[in-house]
Amino acid sequence: MDRRRTWAVFKKELLHIRRDPQSLIQIILLPVMLLLLYGYALTFDIKHVPTAVYDRDGSRVSQGFLREFRGSRYFELRYWVTSYAEIRRLLDRRDIRLALVVPHDFSKTLKAGDTVTVQAILDGTDANTANIILGYVQGVVAAYNQRLLMERLSRVGVSEIKLPVTPETRFWFNEDLESKNFIIPGLIVVIMTMVGALLTALTIVREVERGSMEGLLATPLKKSELILGKLGPYFIIGMVDLALVLGLGQFLFAVPLRGSVTLYIILSAVFLVVMLGQGMLISVLSENQLQAYQMGTLLTFLPAFLLSGFVFAIPLMPPFLQLVSYIVPPRYLVTICKGIYLKGLGLKELWPSALMLVFFAVFFLALAMRKFRRKL
């Protein structure tokens, strides 16, 4: 491979990019826009659940029970209704996710020392959200029951009671349970996947459509010199995009980065080579730019979003999809990002994923060169 010829192709591609400033601006702004859009819109934190209250008792005791919900950050008591028809109307319009119905004999039954039933009506159209809200309701009720039990025991002379087993919960790595702390690292992977693949998915097929490929074939360029020369400028652009989204995640979203920034950048650069190689392979195999764009979206963005572990946990997927996820390169960078961001892991723990990225980089580049010769 001749470095001068590779450098000549590199400069040619740089000139092409510079002569199309609108596309360059889009390439730079697209990752920023995606990070802002998904970073703010995509969240799994369920707080301030809109709640309606049907207090049929209307006593001080029932109001004290409802204060437990009002004092929680997970509930927002917005509506005070007087019938089930109002609850149904609010649920149909999706104005509320939860309705609490306090029975008319709430205070009387509690004072008698009996068990009283409080009804919680949930919007089950989103099963996962409904289950989480149900857990919040049960937690508030359990705390209220414990306080009432202690009051009753104190009235009969029992000043202190010790439970046989008390759980002590400790969260590692994401102590505040903020969804942005694991969404942003995974989102960076998805953005780098899409940007890296789409940057190069149009390079070769664009030369063919414009008729400039014949001029390149008339030169003594080797296939490796042509492909590597074309990849160089897009690698630089991809690293600029990586720096932008990394800075936004750090300073705008305040996501903790507990591991080595240098290791993160190096492994992300390897992943960028993987996606550039995959995009180049797509460009070589495509007949036109529209086909290349569609293949790039189908083979890179969708697997990165659905099968990388970014949104959906891989162990919870069907066995077949778990096997498919092993051939999705973003899976390994998601593991690396979450390990470096949240756990502060080093190469000692992450080397299997890093080795897989190196393998995919070599594989896609070698395959692109092989198919490029057959296409010509």
Binned at pLDDT 50, 70 and 90, residue 373 comes out as low
- Domain positions in the chain are 21-43+178-375, 49-155
Dihedral angle computed from the Cα positions of residues 279, 284, 288 and 293, in that order, rounded to the nearest 10 degrees: -10
Q: In the 8-state DSSP scheme, what is residue 57?
A: S
| pLDDT, greater one: 36 or 106 | 106
Among 139, 146, 140, 145, smallest CA distance to 70 is for 140
Contact partners, residue 90, CB within 8 Å, separation at least 6: 52, 79, 81, 96, 99
Question: Could you report the per-residue pLDDT of 313-336, keeping only the tens digit for each?
Answer: 888 888 898 899 999 999 999 999
Instruction: Specify the CATH superfamily of domain 49-155.
Output: abc type-2 transporter like domain (3.40.1710.10)
- Please say if the pLDDT value at position 285 is more than 50: yes
- Give the model's pLDDT for residue 376: 47
Q: Two tokens at 121? A: 């009506």
- Give the model's pLDDT for residue 230: 80
Q: Two tokens at 44? A: 């799994």
Question: Could you report the per-residue pLDDT of 88-118, keeping only the tens digit for each?
Answer: 999 999 899 999 999 988 888 888 878 888 9
- Please say if the pLDDT value at position 257 is more than 80: yes
End-to-end, the C-alpha distance of the chain in Å comes to 19
Mean residue pLDDT of the chain comes to 83
How large a percentage of the chain has pLDDT more than 90? 19
CB atoms within 10 A of CB 282: 28
- Please say if the pLDDT value at position 54 is more than 90: yes
How large a percentage of the chain has pLDDT more than 70? 91
Q: Two tokens at 364? A: 């896609």
Q: Report yes or no: 328 and 304 within 8 Å, Cβ to Cβ.
A: yes
| pLDDT, greater one: 266 or 27 | 266
Q: Report yes or no: 171 and 177 within 8 Å, Cβ to Cβ.
A: yes
Task: Report how far residue 266's alpha carbon sits from residue 279's, in angstroms, rounded to the nearest whole number.
Answer: 20
Give this prediction's pTM: 0.77
DSSP H or E stretch at residue 217: helix 213-217
- Give the model's pLDDT for residue 213: 64
Q: Two tokens at 289? A: 């730019």
- Give the model's pLDDT for residue 374: 42
Question: Could you report the per-residue pLDDT of 107-146, keeping only the tens digit for each?
Answer: 888 888 788 889 999 988 888 888 889 989 998 998 888 8
